[in-house]
A and B are shown apart, each in its own frame.
Chain A
Amino acid sequence: MSEITCPICNESMVTLLQLNRHLDDAHSEIKFVNNEDTASWFSKQVAKSRAKQLQSVTSVFTQAFGKLDLLDGSDTDGSSTSLSHGPASATKRGSPVPILTDENVTRKHWQKLSPNQRCAEVLCEKPLSARNGCINCRKCGKLFCHKHTMYRMKLTKNAMHDPTNGTWCRVCETCYKSRPGYNDHKGVVIDLTQDFRRMRQPHIDQQELNANRLEKRLVKLISSLSSEISKDPGSVWPLNRLRQKYAIDKEIVKWQADGEVTDCPECHNHFNFTLRKHHCRVCGKVVCGNLNSDCSRDVEINILAAKLDIKGPDVMPVTPISTRICKSCKNTVLSRRNFLHDKTAPLPPLLKKYEQLCHLRMVIESTMPKFQETLEILQDAQGQHTDQQATADATKIRKKLLNTCAQFDSISRSLSNLTLNIENERRLQQNIFLAAVHFLQINMLPLRALPKLLKSAKKLKTGPNKSSQQEAVEFKNFVLPTSRLTDTEIADLRQQLIVMEEQKFLVSGMVEGATQRRKYNEIPPLESSLRELDKEIDRIRCDLGTDAFEN
């Protein structure tokens, strides 16, 4: 949906008329001066035509509602559809509020009828007559035909919108639709983020406290173990040393008594002869050592040290030393670290390629408006003396865009050629490629519009364009100098080549499609054009020689 916004205050508008009026109302210093004479003349006129108008209004309403009930047409009651209906019914019920009717609403601002008056609705502009109707909008006062004043809203004496104390009045479409809230399509949204954070915080704090405590123990454990090793790296924990290790372990945390536990707290299996009790060296609780359920595990201390970013044992013993850590301790201490680590890890190739794509896309998106602008200048100058600078600019920008597009294309292709093992990543890859192709399709089209313009412009050009040659040096990355052809020529030819190859690709795709759908009659013309394209491509390649693209 295209939206009109006020150039001064950026308020969004529905129609041109509304904008017009908004400009008059909000951004004009001139006060509306009322002419006494015209007003009195006007009120007389109104008085005269009033009876007639009301009648016609009624008939229109009956007509409109007649449409929606074909069977029930006989009992349409004219009087109940009259405009002053709302307040009238209120009186019947003995309301204490002073009664306002349509007549009480000011008419000072009404536009007076002039000959050849047309409906003020911008798109309508019907001549106002008895047949089309000639009605003042009670709010803005402008004159409209029947069709564009079929709306009702509540107005106060000063013809201002007021849902509480107003009376029902007939208004125009624009006033009705520009009433506050009419165009509000943003439904209710409740933001619970703050509440959520508040609920989460105590939990997180607790978690962190816990993690810190366990981490400290673990660090202590590792350091005392490693200092123990450094004393005597050669031995393989002889029996007395093993006892020493236990002593170190028990120093860190008080071990839970074996008798207290009958089931493993993690997997809830009953301890028995095969399912032995073990102690987690970090929390001291009893867990099982079943490797399938992964309730606890012997982990080498230098692995743990690496995970915690601390110094492990300097000297490695002959047999690696490990220490037992249970699942819940591992989670509390490590999963947060792992999470942050994964988030900041270097991007996988797929995402790297995607970032390149995004960068190129931003470049294309930001240069595109510039290109459109220069194109418009060129179009305006068509036929007259063409500004050489403008042409050069356009060529330059276009070249840049085409190069970026080519790069974009090649990256998206290489992205789609990556081999991935995980199904989800493959889907991701497919979708990114799809979006990239779509993006290219949309943005390449306007680029093709230029050559025609340029051709006509070139006829007017005299002499070689030095400046564009200089500019071309900037794109050294893409354009290599050769003896035979100038830089600009090469670039042009390359662009042609890109276009042709793309077309060839599309056409061969279409041939395949036609074969699949068994539409053999479509194939011969397609193939002939394919041959023609091949010829053209060969010719260009020939011209370019060594400068042709690698792909």
Chain B
Amino acid sequence: MNLLQSASNYIDRITGSLPANGVHGTSTVGINKNKIKVLLLDKDTTSIVSMITTQSHLLSNAIYLIDTITNTTRTKMRHLSCVVFIRPTPDSIQALVEELRNPLYGSYELYFTNIIKKSSLERIAESDDHEAVTKVQEVFADYLCVNPDLFEVGLAKPNIFGSMPDSWTAEALNRSTETLTAVLLALKQKPLIRYDANSLLSKKLANEVSYRVRQDPSLYDFRRPDTPPVLLILDRKNDPITPLLLPWTYQAMVHELLGITNNRVNLSVIPDVRPELQEIVLSGTQGDNFFQKSMYLNFGDLGATIKEYVDQYQTKTKNNTNIESIDDMKRFVEDYPEFRKLAGNVSKHVTLVSELSRLVEAEGLLAVSELEQSLACNDSHNQDLKQIQIILQSPNISFDSKVRLVALYGLRYEKNANFSLPALLDLLDHQQPHPYGYNGVNAIKSLLSYAGAQKRDEGIFGGEGFFSRAQSGFKGLKGVENVYTQHTTLLSKTLSSLLRGKMKDASYPIFDDGVRPKLVETPAYGVDTNERPQNVIVFIVGGVTYEEARVVAEINAGTPGISIVLGSTKIINSYDFIKNLNDISHKGLIKGQPLTRLTFHTNNSSRAAEEIK
């Protein structure tokens, strides 16, 4: 399963670089190839296309104009042919209908990213008075392909929670279902759906996906695999820890500290940044070989790798600087485009990495991370509390880090006898000022009611049970390899039990669609929960981190014959996570029991509590 290849295959089909199977002779393909095409996109498909292809690729397929379908300032050019690639949303359909009533281009090929309603298709057909449409197809590239094994839904609004934190907004649910079914169709998988038993969100999504699959059985009639693929729908609330921990691998760090949106990183916040580097493209799918090699390296290894890269660049520069004869000159000119590309890439990554290390230094992230890991992995309440208090009072630690630490403390020691979150919240509340317009105290409270101990499955912390305590004792003896990366995500445990065929039916039930034959009748195809799956699609409701993407990539690389694809409603960092929780608390969605255990000292926080109630 490769999301990238499937998606770029679709794009090739759209751009016409993929010859139709035997229908046309080669000569017609040659002529079509040269015909100038206009590509019309909508808001959603623009990001889909930009994630997987480059402008030069489009140019080489004679697509010389790219525009949005809603743009009304386009002019009539009826000698050109047009390729329309849109999501079948009401807005886009309306725009298309208007376009076809008065066609600006000579002919149209229509591609939809998902199944289009029959009534919409009729509307379009009725508006096509000029018989300008030559082709109508549904292609299922309805997902944002971030890495070959990572996709994102690409919701317009980050909030997925409806009236309650365990219900969806209609839009988010619909969009997620559409994306998931598109992924299934793009990868040609008809899966067994498993979901988090304690999460209504994932059960609802499982239901929707299963319903869509049942609706159109002929569409999902693929070659029978050895073992049915598994679609595992998880809920973020069962692992609130991972988004709160500071990651130390390249892609994840860039997202955590600078933020990646649709493969773009905004660097204009860096002081003295060169103008061409204010916004850079950081893509795990196209072009940038260095990034593809180093995106999962940890920060230490990254330093060494980037040094090598710079050295390689410098030897090339040296070769290029001593130009003495015409021959040298010629060689230089030949190598120049390649060289300039390299130079651009080197300066991009050097800027990025130096900014990362500046942030690590300036915000004392090493100390923060060490404490975070200790909170997540060890059981030493008093020591941790003391450390947090020290850090809360230190001025050069960022507000975000402090909120993260308190949040981790709240999750970790909720059941501890000496649980003293109110005191910490009080300390946090005195922090000046709240720079990003969110209230840390509120966010932490809603975090505890969203993903507190009562709401989630147990077992995300090491050292909760008796055996694991003994285990951590052993680990203590052995010593830890790297203090900053001790924590293992819940996802890696879940996946390993799934891949070994040992996943518990009770915690991850199979969605019963009432259609699939029971095990007893046909064992080879029936639902054998202990059979080890070879293809797995994981979808995490409520956001996924790049750290988890790394885990999946590692499993894919390290276990032959197993292919896992990870997806989510959004790729989040700790800021997104906390901000989102804060938004929930503003909406007054969460009325949690943990709040009754808290006592408030300041006016501020009691007012906040009233707001919440």
Contact = CB atoms under 8 A, between A and B. Distances in A.
Interface of A: 64-65, 67-72, 74, 76-77, 80-81, 85-86, 89-90, 93-95, 97, 147, 150-154, 163-166, 168, 173, 176, 180-181, 184-193, 195-196, 199-200, 203-204, 207, 335-336, 339, 342-343, 345, 347-348, 351, 354, 358, 361-362, 422-425, 427-428, 431-432, 434-435, 438, 441, 445, 448, 499, 502-503, 506-507, 510, 525, 529, 532-533, 536
Give the bracket for the number of chain B residues in contact with chain A: 35 or more
B185 A187 contact: yes
Contact of A434 (B59, B102, B323): B59
Contacts of B36: 351, 354, 428, 432
A69 B75 contact: no
B499 A503 contact: no
B131 A153 contact: no
B508 to A, nearest CB: 16
A95 B129 contact: no
Nearest to B35: A358
B140 interface: yes
A154 B226 contact: yes
Nearest to A421: B75
Given A187-B9, A425-B77, A196 B226 contact: no
A165 B524 CA distance: 6
Interface in B581-608: none
Nearest to A99: B523
Nearest to A203: B126
B223 A181 contact: yes
Interface string B155-175: 000000000000000000000
A428 B554 contact: no
Contacts of B471: 71, 74
Contacts of B135: 191, 193
A510 B333 CA distance: 10
A354 B33 CA distance: 13
A150 B499 CA distance: 14
B351 interface: no
B138 interface: yes
A448 B34 CA distance: 27
B530 A196 contact: no
- The 8 lowest CB-CB distance pairs between A and B, nearest first, are A187-B186, A199-B125, A342-B78, A151-B561, A95-B523, A185-B5, A150-B560, A358-B34
Contacts of A147: 560
Interface string B500-527: 1110000000000000000110011100
Contacts of B26: none
Nearest to A452: B327
Contact of B136 (A97, A151, A196, A428): A196
Given A85-B532, A86-B531, A435-B59, A185 B136 contact: no
Contact of A438 (B56, B102, B488): B56
A439 to B, nearest CB: 8
A335 B60 CA distance: 34
B74 A188 contact: no
A153 B523 CA distance: 16
Contact of B132 (A164, A203, A339): A339
Given A65-B499, A89-B530, A200 B126 contact: yes
A384 B30 CA distance: 41
Interface stretch (B256-264, B362-370, B402-410, B490-498): B490-498
B469 to A, nearest CB: 12
Most chain B beta-carbon contacts within 10 A, residue among A193, A204, A424, A448 = A424
Contacts of A150: 559-561
Given A93-B520, A93-B528, A163-B524, 13 more contacts: A65-B559, A77-B500, A80-B500, A163-B224, A185-B9, A186-B9, A187-B140, A189-B138, A192-B116, A200-B128, A424-B74, A431-B65, A532-B329
B28 interface: no
Interface in B394-422: none
A527 B212 CA distance: 67
B131 A151 contact: no
Contacts of B67: 424
A457 to B, nearest CB: 18
Interface string B533-561: 01000000000000000010011001111
